[in-house]
Amino acid sequence: MSAFRPALCATFAAGLLLAAPAAEARFGKKSSDTSDSKKDDDKGSKVHAATPIRSSPREEAPSRPPPSRDDDCCDTAPSRGRASYSARIHGDALLAAAELLAIAVDDTQPVDLAVREQRPAQPLDVRMGLNVGAMGGGTAGDVFLGIEGEALGFAVQGTQLTLPTDDGTSGTDDLRLATVHLTWAAVSTDRMRWRVEGGVSTAMAPDITFVGPSLATSLEVCVAGPLDVEARVQGTAGTYRQLDASAGLALHLGALNLRGGVRGLILDDAGRVDGVQHVDRFVGPYAGAGFVF
């Protein structure tokens, strides 16, 4: 039962979003009575030129002077004898070293094979997909990419919201959300995978752009054959507030995944645009497809 607790929490969060009242003002957008006279000052960036590190030239080892040769002709025969003896000594040493090297190679080869058999290369899983849905009287598009090994990985997700204007004027309001997370699979079995995520999130509204720390958790549980239950909750606190919760089903058809469910989203700019707090609450269904390699 403990395995389904995160999924129940995500469903409960989505239910709270469904019960939330409609937004009265657009997130990250100035009120109609607020002047647009404030402009951000451009800040010049300074570039620090790095000084290359020069390595000192390598000093050449002095060559040894050639050995002196005696002028006495009587030393010719003994010198040939000494050269022959030295050659025999060096030859025996080389043969002994070659034999020792061959023995060492023969002894270590089975050990290397055993080590390679005990340490197989860990495969990487690549997840990507696209979801579309209805939200807040408009449309929502969501793309995601995740790459992970046995436990660690990273995930990138982006959302595009196209909504009707909150003041009744013609046109639309666009909101763009993005998260970049490092992921860790706290539990990973054949039937369940629970991830803990952390990173940064961004929100681009009509009149402001936010960046803040982000935490998330996701759960995938196999319930019957190729059918899985998926749930995910992501939150941001700090410069702005964001709560993104979704829950649904996924059907695995080989490398192809088909999914659908419900998603809830809360966005709060904390009055950082014009001193007036703007909060948006959205709930709607989604459907999509993806691939797993």
Sign of the CA dihedral with 80 first, then 81, 86, and 89 last: positive
Question: Nearest 5°: CA angle at 251, between 154 and 261?
Answer: 75
Neighbours of 166 (CB within 10 A): 19
Helix, strand or coil, per DSSP, at residue 124: coil
Compute the distance between CA of residue 183 and CA of residue 230 in angstroms, rounded to an integer.
16
State the average pLDDT for the chain.
Answer: 77
Classify residue 62: in a domain, yes or no.
no
207 phi, psi to nearest 5 deg = -120, 5
Classify residue 59: in a domain, yes or no.
no
Average pLDDT of the residues in 183-195: 95
Structural domains of the chain, count: 1
Helix, strand or coil, per DSSP, at residue 104: helix
Compute the distance between CA of residue 180 and CA of residue 148 in angstroms, rounded to an integer.
14
278 phi, psi to nearest 5 deg = -115, 125
Residue 53 has pLDDT above 90, yes or no: no
Classify residue 7: in a domain, yes or no.
yes
Classify residue 97: in a domain, yes or no.
no
Neighbours of 208 (CB within 10 A): 19
- List the CATH number of the domain containing 133: 2.40.128.100
Classify residue 178: in a domain, yes or no.
yes
More confident call, 84 vs 251: 251
Classify residue 256: in a domain, yes or no.
yes
Compute the distance between CA of residue 89 and CA of residue 86 in angstroms, rounded to an integer.
5
Domain interval for residue 280: 2-29+128-286
Query: How would you classify the pairing of strands 227-236 and 241-253?
Result: antiparallel
**pLDDT, tens digit, for every residue of 67-120?**
554 444 444 444 444 445 455 555 666 666 666 666 655 655 554 444 444 545
Classify residue 216: in a domain, yes or no.
yes
